[in-house]
Amino acid sequence: MNGLKVTGKINRQTSRIMSKPRCGNSDIGQPHTPNGNRQKRDTSETFETTLNGNKWKSRRLTWRLSQYSNKIYWQDQQNILDKIFSMWSVPSPLQIHHTSNTPDIDISFARWIHGDGNYNAFDGKGRMLAHAYGPGYGPLAGDIHFDNDEEWATKKNLRKEHAKDFFPIALHEAGHSLGLPHSTSKHAVMYPIYKGFEPDLTLDVDDVNKLQSIYGSNPNFVLRQTKKKEEFDEIEESMNNKPAICRLNIKDVFYDSGYPVPTRRLLQKAPYNPQAVVYLQEYNRLYIFKGYIIWRYTNMKLDTGYPKKIDSIFPEPPVAAVNIYDRRGRSRVFLFGRKYFWGWNYVTELITGSTMLINSFWRDFPDDIDAAVRWKDGMIYAFKGQKYYKVSEHSRTVLPGYPKYFGPSWIGGPCGTSDK
Protein backbone atom coordinates (compact mmCIF):
# COMPACT_ATOMS: atom_id res chain seq x y z
CA MET A 1 0.00 0.00 0.00
CA ASN A 2 2.81 2.41 0.79
CA GLY A 3 5.33 1.44 -1.89
CA LEU A 4 7.91 0.24 0.62
CA LYS A 5 10.82 -1.87 -0.59
CA VAL A 6 10.54 -5.41 0.78
CA THR A 7 13.63 -5.93 2.95
CA GLY A 8 12.44 -8.44 5.55
CA LYS A 9 13.33 -5.91 8.25
CA ILE A 10 11.49 -3.16 10.07
CA ASN A 11 13.72 -0.34 8.88
CA ARG A 12 13.37 3.41 9.42
CA GLN A 13 11.03 3.91 6.46
CA THR A 14 8.70 1.15 7.64
CA SER A 15 8.65 2.44 11.22
CA ARG A 16 7.99 5.97 10.01
CA ILE A 17 4.94 4.91 7.98
CA MET A 18 3.61 2.70 10.79
CA SER A 19 3.80 5.51 13.34
CA LYS A 20 1.95 8.11 11.27
CA PRO A 21 -1.69 9.06 12.04
CA ARG A 22 -4.11 7.46 9.63
CA CYS A 23 -7.66 6.48 8.76
CA GLY A 24 -9.10 3.62 10.79
CA ASN A 25 -10.53 1.80 7.76
CA SER A 26 -8.79 -1.30 6.43
CA ASP A 27 -6.43 -0.91 3.49
CA ILE A 28 -7.78 -4.09 1.92
CA GLY A 29 -11.21 -4.33 0.32
CA GLN A 30 -14.17 -1.97 0.25
CA PRO A 31 -15.44 0.31 3.05
CA HIS A 32 -17.26 -2.02 5.44
CA THR A 33 -20.73 -1.68 6.94
CA PRO A 34 -21.14 -3.83 10.08
CA ASN A 35 -24.36 -3.85 12.07
CA GLY A 36 -24.53 -1.39 14.96
CA ASN A 37 -26.81 -0.80 17.90
CA ARG A 38 -28.21 2.61 16.95
CA GLN A 39 -31.49 3.37 15.21
CA LYS A 40 -31.34 4.75 11.71
CA ARG A 41 -33.33 4.92 8.48
CA ASP A 42 -34.10 1.72 6.53
CA THR A 43 -31.29 1.27 4.01
CA SER A 44 -32.52 -1.97 2.44
CA GLU A 45 -33.33 -0.34 -0.90
CA THR A 46 -30.74 2.41 -0.99
CA PHE A 47 -27.67 0.68 -2.40
CA GLU A 48 -26.55 -1.86 -4.95
CA THR A 49 -23.46 -4.00 -5.39
CA THR A 50 -21.39 -3.56 -8.56
CA LEU A 51 -18.07 -4.87 -9.82
CA ASN A 52 -16.47 -1.80 -8.28
CA GLY A 53 -18.07 -2.31 -4.85
CA ASN A 54 -21.18 -0.92 -3.19
CA LYS A 55 -22.75 2.32 -4.36
CA TRP A 56 -25.79 4.41 -3.49
CA LYS A 57 -28.75 3.90 -5.82
CA SER A 58 -30.03 7.43 -5.41
CA ARG A 59 -28.09 10.32 -6.87
CA ARG A 60 -29.56 12.62 -4.22
CA LEU A 61 -28.00 12.04 -0.80
CA THR A 62 -28.21 13.88 2.51
CA TRP A 63 -25.83 14.37 5.43
CA ARG A 64 -26.12 15.66 8.98
CA LEU A 65 -23.62 16.37 11.74
CA SER A 66 -25.45 14.87 14.69
CA GLN A 67 -22.67 15.22 17.28
CA TYR A 68 -20.29 18.18 17.07
CA SER A 69 -16.72 18.44 18.34
CA ASN A 70 -15.91 20.84 21.14
CA LYS A 71 -12.52 21.51 19.51
CA ILE A 72 -13.76 23.55 16.51
CA TYR A 73 -16.39 26.28 16.22
CA TRP A 74 -19.63 24.54 15.21
CA GLN A 75 -20.23 26.73 12.14
CA ASP A 76 -16.74 25.93 10.84
CA GLN A 77 -17.54 22.21 11.11
CA GLN A 78 -20.75 22.71 9.11
CA ASN A 79 -19.00 24.83 6.46
CA ILE A 80 -16.16 22.35 5.97
CA LEU A 81 -18.54 19.40 5.60
CA ASP A 82 -20.66 21.35 3.13
CA LYS A 83 -17.52 22.10 1.10
CA ILE A 84 -16.17 18.54 1.05
CA PHE A 85 -19.47 17.02 -0.09
CA SER A 86 -19.64 19.65 -2.82
CA MET A 87 -16.15 18.62 -3.94
CA TRP A 88 -17.22 14.98 -4.26
CA SER A 89 -20.45 15.98 -6.06
CA VAL A 90 -18.92 18.17 -8.78
CA PRO A 91 -17.12 15.44 -10.83
CA SER A 92 -20.16 13.11 -10.68
CA PRO A 93 -23.96 13.13 -11.04
CA LEU A 94 -24.30 13.08 -7.23
CA GLN A 95 -26.13 15.82 -5.33
CA ILE A 96 -25.28 15.78 -1.62
CA HIS A 97 -27.01 18.24 0.69
CA HIS A 98 -27.38 18.94 4.39
CA THR A 99 -30.61 17.93 6.15
CA SER A 100 -32.00 18.37 9.63
CA ASN A 101 -33.97 15.13 9.26
CA THR A 102 -32.73 11.53 9.26
CA PRO A 103 -29.81 11.55 6.79
CA ASP A 104 -28.17 9.03 4.48
CA ILE A 105 -24.78 9.95 5.95
CA ASP A 106 -24.74 10.57 9.70
CA ILE A 107 -21.58 12.25 11.02
CA SER A 108 -20.43 12.39 14.63
CA PHE A 109 -17.46 12.94 16.92
CA ALA A 110 -17.02 10.21 19.52
CA ARG A 111 -14.55 8.63 21.93
CA TRP A 112 -13.38 5.04 22.53
CA ILE A 113 -16.31 2.54 22.17
CA HIS A 114 -19.07 4.49 20.47
CA GLY A 115 -21.81 2.18 19.23
CA ASP A 116 -20.30 0.32 16.28
CA GLY A 117 -18.64 -2.60 18.04
CA ASN A 118 -15.65 -2.95 20.37
CA TYR A 119 -13.39 -3.74 17.41
CA ASN A 120 -14.12 -0.27 15.97
CA ALA A 121 -13.33 1.60 19.20
CA PHE A 122 -11.13 4.67 18.91
CA ASP A 123 -7.72 4.70 20.57
CA GLY A 124 -7.50 8.12 22.21
CA LYS A 125 -5.16 10.80 20.93
CA GLY A 126 -2.78 9.24 18.47
CA ARG A 127 -2.82 6.93 15.51
CA MET A 128 -6.46 6.33 14.48
CA LEU A 129 -8.17 9.57 13.46
CA ALA A 130 -11.52 8.52 11.99
CA HIS A 131 -13.38 5.83 10.09
CA ALA A 132 -16.38 5.60 7.80
CA TYR A 133 -18.82 3.04 6.40
CA GLY A 134 -19.73 2.66 2.75
CA PRO A 135 -23.16 2.22 1.18
CA GLY A 136 -24.96 -0.92 2.34
CA TYR A 137 -27.47 -2.50 4.72
CA GLY A 138 -27.62 -1.71 8.40
CA PRO A 139 -27.95 1.31 10.66
CA LEU A 140 -24.37 2.49 10.08
CA ALA A 141 -24.34 2.57 6.27
CA GLY A 142 -22.55 5.70 5.08
CA ASP A 143 -21.79 7.01 8.56
CA ILE A 144 -18.59 8.87 9.47
CA HIS A 145 -17.02 8.89 12.94
CA PHE A 146 -14.18 11.14 14.11
CA ASP A 147 -12.12 10.50 17.24
CA ASN A 148 -12.85 13.50 19.46
CA ASP A 149 -9.74 12.85 21.57
CA GLU A 150 -7.66 14.28 18.72
CA GLU A 151 -6.70 17.97 18.69
CA TRP A 152 -9.04 18.92 15.85
CA ALA A 153 -8.41 22.25 14.15
CA THR A 154 -8.99 24.17 10.94
CA LYS A 155 -6.36 25.82 8.75
CA LYS A 156 -7.14 29.09 10.57
CA ASN A 157 -6.16 27.58 13.92
CA LEU A 158 -3.50 24.88 13.46
CA ARG A 159 -1.49 26.15 16.44
CA LYS A 160 -1.65 23.42 19.05
CA GLU A 161 0.95 20.69 19.06
CA HIS A 162 -0.24 17.54 17.26
CA ALA A 163 -3.28 19.44 15.85
CA LYS A 164 -5.10 17.58 13.05
CA ASP A 165 -6.59 19.50 10.14
CA PHE A 166 -10.28 18.56 9.95
CA PHE A 167 -10.67 19.39 6.25
CA PRO A 168 -8.46 16.74 4.52
CA ILE A 169 -9.54 14.04 6.97
CA ALA A 170 -13.24 14.79 6.46
CA LEU A 171 -12.71 14.84 2.68
CA HIS A 172 -11.06 11.39 2.90
CA GLU A 173 -13.80 9.86 5.06
CA ALA A 174 -16.56 11.23 2.82
CA GLY A 175 -14.96 9.28 -0.01
CA HIS A 176 -15.45 6.08 2.02
CA SER A 177 -19.11 7.03 2.59
CA LEU A 178 -19.58 7.08 -1.18
CA GLY A 179 -17.94 3.65 -1.58
CA LEU A 180 -14.33 4.49 -2.41
CA PRO A 181 -11.59 2.26 -0.92
CA HIS A 182 -8.10 3.36 0.07
CA SER A 183 -5.68 4.28 -2.67
CA THR A 184 -2.02 3.35 -3.08
CA SER A 185 -1.34 6.74 -4.72
CA LYS A 186 0.33 9.13 -2.27
CA HIS A 187 -1.17 12.04 -4.21
CA ALA A 188 -4.75 10.84 -3.72
CA VAL A 189 -7.18 12.09 -1.08
CA MET A 190 -7.99 8.42 -0.44
CA TYR A 191 -4.39 7.56 0.54
CA PRO A 192 -4.77 6.21 4.11
CA ILE A 193 -1.91 8.12 5.81
CA TYR A 194 -2.59 11.63 7.16
CA LYS A 195 -0.21 14.08 5.46
CA GLY A 196 -0.95 17.18 7.52
CA PHE A 197 -2.05 20.59 6.28
CA GLU A 198 -2.14 20.80 2.49
CA PRO A 199 -3.00 24.24 1.07
CA ASP A 200 -5.35 24.23 -1.92
CA LEU A 201 -6.11 20.52 -1.52
CA THR A 202 -8.21 19.11 -4.37
CA LEU A 203 -9.31 15.68 -5.53
CA ASP A 204 -6.54 13.85 -7.36
CA VAL A 205 -7.05 12.24 -10.76
CA ASP A 206 -7.01 8.85 -8.97
CA ASP A 207 -9.87 9.95 -6.70
CA VAL A 208 -11.93 11.31 -9.58
CA ASN A 209 -11.41 8.22 -11.75
CA LYS A 210 -12.55 5.87 -8.98
CA LEU A 211 -15.56 8.04 -8.13
CA GLN A 212 -16.61 8.18 -11.78
CA SER A 213 -16.09 4.43 -12.22
CA ILE A 214 -18.83 3.98 -9.60
CA TYR A 215 -21.29 6.78 -10.37
CA GLY A 216 -20.43 8.02 -13.83
CA SER A 217 -19.17 11.48 -14.73
CA ASN A 218 -20.49 15.00 -14.90
CA PRO A 219 -20.03 16.10 -18.54
CA ASN A 220 -19.45 19.69 -17.43
CA PHE A 221 -16.57 18.77 -15.14
CA VAL A 222 -12.93 19.32 -16.22
CA LEU A 223 -10.19 18.02 -13.93
CA ARG A 224 -7.46 20.60 -13.38
CA GLN A 225 -4.58 18.55 -12.05
CA THR A 226 -1.48 20.32 -10.75
CA LYS A 227 1.97 18.85 -10.26
CA LYS A 228 2.58 20.36 -6.82
CA LYS A 229 1.91 17.30 -4.70
CA GLU A 230 3.56 14.89 -7.15
CA GLU A 231 6.65 17.07 -7.38
CA PHE A 232 6.95 17.39 -3.61
CA ASP A 233 6.42 13.67 -2.95
CA GLU A 234 9.07 12.65 -5.48
CA ILE A 235 11.60 15.04 -3.92
CA GLU A 236 10.64 13.88 -0.42
CA GLU A 237 11.38 10.27 -1.35
CA SER A 238 14.76 11.23 -2.84
CA MET A 239 15.62 13.20 0.32
CA ASN A 240 15.39 10.08 2.50
CA ASN A 241 18.84 9.06 1.25
CA LYS A 242 20.37 12.53 1.73
CA PRO A 243 22.32 13.71 4.82
CA ALA A 244 20.23 14.52 7.88
CA ILE A 245 20.85 18.25 7.48
CA CYS A 246 18.76 18.20 4.28
CA ARG A 247 15.69 17.29 6.31
CA LEU A 248 16.09 19.92 9.03
CA ASN A 249 13.56 22.67 9.67
CA ILE A 250 14.60 25.99 8.10
CA LYS A 251 15.27 27.50 11.56
CA ASP A 252 17.73 24.83 12.60
CA VAL A 253 20.53 25.94 10.28
CA PHE A 254 22.38 29.12 9.38
CA TYR A 255 23.15 29.91 5.73
CA ASP A 256 26.56 31.32 4.87
CA SER A 257 27.76 31.42 1.25
CA GLY A 258 25.08 28.92 0.32
CA TYR A 259 26.15 26.18 2.74
CA PRO A 260 24.36 25.44 6.01
CA VAL A 261 25.88 25.02 9.48
CA PRO A 262 24.16 24.83 12.88
CA THR A 263 23.21 28.33 14.08
CA ARG A 264 24.83 28.11 17.51
CA ARG A 265 28.19 27.24 15.94
CA LEU A 266 28.42 30.73 14.43
CA LEU A 267 26.42 32.94 16.79
CA GLN A 268 27.49 33.32 20.42
CA LYS A 269 24.73 32.48 22.93
CA ALA A 270 22.16 32.11 20.16
CA PRO A 271 18.92 30.54 21.43
CA TYR A 272 17.83 27.02 20.63
CA ASN A 273 14.76 26.96 18.36
CA PRO A 274 14.67 30.70 17.51
CA GLN A 275 11.24 32.01 16.55
CA ALA A 276 11.96 34.93 14.18
CA VAL A 277 15.14 36.17 12.48
CA VAL A 278 15.76 39.26 10.33
CA TYR A 279 18.96 40.67 8.79
CA LEU A 280 19.69 44.35 7.96
CA GLN A 281 22.37 44.39 5.28
CA GLU A 282 23.13 48.12 5.53
CA TYR A 283 24.14 47.70 9.19
CA ASN A 284 25.39 44.10 8.92
CA ARG A 285 23.07 43.49 11.84
CA LEU A 286 21.07 40.38 12.71
CA TYR A 287 18.08 40.24 15.06
CA ILE A 288 16.76 37.02 16.63
CA PHE A 289 13.44 36.80 18.49
CA LYS A 290 12.27 34.05 20.80
CA GLY A 291 9.13 34.65 22.83
CA TYR A 292 9.55 38.22 24.09
CA ILE A 293 13.38 38.11 24.20
CA ILE A 294 15.58 39.67 21.50
CA TRP A 295 19.22 39.01 20.50
CA ARG A 296 21.14 41.53 18.35
CA TYR A 297 24.37 40.69 16.50
CA THR A 298 26.59 43.12 14.61
CA ASN A 299 29.21 41.58 12.32
CA MET A 300 28.18 38.21 13.80
CA LYS A 301 29.13 39.34 17.35
CA LEU A 302 26.55 39.57 20.15
CA ASP A 303 26.02 43.25 21.04
CA THR A 304 26.42 44.49 24.61
CA GLY A 305 23.20 44.41 26.61
CA TYR A 306 21.72 41.50 24.63
CA PRO A 307 19.79 39.30 24.91
CA LYS A 308 17.15 41.45 26.57
CA LYS A 309 13.40 41.61 27.08
CA ILE A 310 11.37 43.36 24.37
CA ASP A 311 10.05 46.73 25.52
CA SER A 312 7.08 46.83 23.10
CA ILE A 313 3.81 45.12 23.93
CA PHE A 314 3.52 42.81 20.95
CA PRO A 315 0.06 41.40 20.11
CA GLU A 316 1.62 37.91 20.17
CA PRO A 317 5.14 36.39 20.13
CA PRO A 318 6.73 36.86 16.67
CA VAL A 319 7.33 33.65 14.69
CA ALA A 320 8.77 35.20 11.51
CA ALA A 321 10.20 38.51 10.31
CA VAL A 322 10.63 40.13 6.88
CA ASN A 323 12.79 43.09 5.85
CA ILE A 324 11.10 44.94 2.96
CA TYR A 325 12.93 47.92 1.43
CA ASP A 326 11.01 51.15 0.82
CA ARG A 327 11.37 53.33 -2.30
CA ARG A 328 14.50 54.96 -0.89
CA GLY A 329 16.11 51.59 -0.23
CA ARG A 330 15.67 51.76 3.55
CA SER A 331 14.82 48.67 5.56
CA ARG A 332 11.30 48.28 6.90
CA VAL A 333 10.88 45.31 9.26
CA PHE A 334 7.58 43.47 9.67
CA LEU A 335 7.03 40.86 12.36
CA PHE A 336 4.56 37.99 11.95
CA GLY A 337 2.73 36.15 14.72
CA ARG A 338 0.36 33.23 14.26
CA LYS A 339 -2.57 35.52 13.44
CA TYR A 340 -1.31 39.11 13.14
CA PHE A 341 1.59 41.05 11.61
CA TRP A 342 2.90 44.52 12.44
CA GLY A 343 5.71 46.98 11.68
CA TRP A 344 8.75 47.17 13.95
CA ASN A 345 11.26 50.00 14.29
CA TYR A 346 14.71 48.45 14.63
CA VAL A 347 16.16 51.69 16.06
CA THR A 348 13.67 52.24 18.88
CA GLU A 349 12.68 48.53 18.96
CA LEU A 350 9.01 49.59 19.19
CA ILE A 351 5.91 48.75 17.14
CA THR A 352 5.18 51.11 14.24
CA GLY A 353 1.83 51.52 12.51
CA SER A 354 -1.20 49.35 13.10
CA THR A 355 -1.51 45.62 13.75
CA MET A 356 -3.27 43.72 10.94
CA LEU A 357 -4.66 40.24 10.39
CA ILE A 358 -2.26 38.26 8.19
CA ASN A 359 -5.00 36.69 6.05
CA SER A 360 -6.71 40.03 5.45
CA PHE A 361 -3.59 41.50 3.80
CA TRP A 362 -1.55 38.56 2.47
CA ARG A 363 -4.40 36.75 0.74
CA ASP A 364 -2.67 33.44 0.02
CA PHE A 365 -0.07 33.54 2.77
CA PRO A 366 0.31 30.14 4.53
CA ASP A 367 -0.95 29.93 8.10
CA ASP A 368 1.37 29.51 11.06
CA ILE A 369 4.68 29.94 9.19
CA ASP A 370 8.10 29.06 10.62
CA ALA A 371 10.17 31.76 8.92
CA ALA A 372 10.13 34.30 6.10
CA VAL A 373 12.65 36.33 4.09
CA ARG A 374 12.61 38.87 1.26
CA TRP A 375 15.13 37.57 -1.27
CA LYS A 376 17.31 39.44 -3.75
CA ASP A 377 14.79 38.71 -6.53
CA GLY A 378 12.28 40.97 -4.77
CA MET A 379 10.07 38.06 -3.75
CA ILE A 380 9.05 37.04 -0.23
CA TYR A 381 9.66 33.41 0.71
CA ALA A 382 7.63 31.92 3.56
CA PHE A 383 8.70 28.62 5.14
CA LYS A 384 6.48 26.06 6.87
CA GLY A 385 7.90 22.71 7.94
CA GLN A 386 10.02 21.46 5.03
CA LYS A 387 8.09 23.39 2.37
CA TYR A 388 8.39 26.95 1.19
CA TYR A 389 6.11 29.40 -0.65
CA LYS A 390 7.10 32.13 -3.11
CA VAL A 391 4.97 35.22 -2.49
CA SER A 392 4.69 38.35 -4.62
CA GLU A 393 5.25 41.50 -2.54
CA HIS A 394 2.92 43.46 -4.85
CA SER A 395 -0.01 41.08 -5.47
CA ARG A 396 0.44 39.50 -1.98
CA THR A 397 -0.37 36.05 -3.40
CA VAL A 398 1.49 32.73 -3.65
CA LEU A 399 2.92 32.10 -7.11
CA PRO A 400 1.76 29.05 -9.12
CA GLY A 401 3.81 25.89 -8.63
CA TYR A 402 4.35 26.38 -4.89
CA PRO A 403 4.91 25.12 -2.23
CA LYS A 404 8.17 23.31 -2.96
CA TYR A 405 10.62 21.32 -0.85
CA PHE A 406 13.15 23.77 0.60
CA GLY A 407 16.14 21.40 0.95
CA PRO A 408 17.44 21.30 -2.63
CA SER A 409 16.61 24.96 -3.35
CA TRP A 410 17.98 26.64 -0.23
CA ILE A 411 20.57 24.32 1.30
CA GLY A 412 22.04 23.04 -1.97
CA GLY A 413 25.37 21.27 -1.60
CA PRO A 414 24.74 17.68 -0.52
CA CYS A 415 20.98 18.17 -0.82
CA GLY A 416 20.98 18.81 -4.57
CA THR A 417 19.87 21.96 -6.36
CA SER A 418 16.73 23.32 -7.95
CA ASP A 419 15.49 26.77 -8.94
CA LYS A 420 13.88 28.94 -6.31
Cross-strand pairs, 163: 151
Buried b (16+ CB within 10 A) or exposed e, 157-172: bbeeeebbbbbbbbbb
User: In a 3-state reduction of DSSP, which class is residue 153?
Assistant: strand
Between CA 191 and CA 166 the distance in angstroms is 16
* 8 A C-beta contact, residue 74 and residue 82: no
> What is the C-alpha to C-alpha distance for residues 185 and 2, in angstroms, rounded to an integer?
8
Residue 379, phi then psi, degrees to nearest 5: -100, 155
Whether 100 and 222 have beta carbons less than 8 Å apart is answered as no
Helix (H, G, I), strand (E, B) or coil at 213: helix
CB atoms within 10 A of CB 135: 28
> How far is Cα 244 from Cα 338, in angstroms, rounded to an integer?
28
Give the whole-angstrom CA distance, residue 411 versus residue 406. Answer: 7
Q: Which of 35, 21, 25 is nearest to 149 (CA)?
A: 21
How many other C-beta atoms are found inside a 10 Å radius of the C-beta of residue 205? 12
Contact by Cβ (8 Å): 293, 307: yes
Question: Would you please indicate which residues are annotated as catalytic (active-site) residues?
Answer: 173
Alpha-carbon gap, residue 222 to 225, rounded angstroms:
9
Closest CA to 270 of 257, 289, 284, 256: 289
User: Among 369, 313, 374, 364, which Cα is nearest to 342's?
Assistant: 313
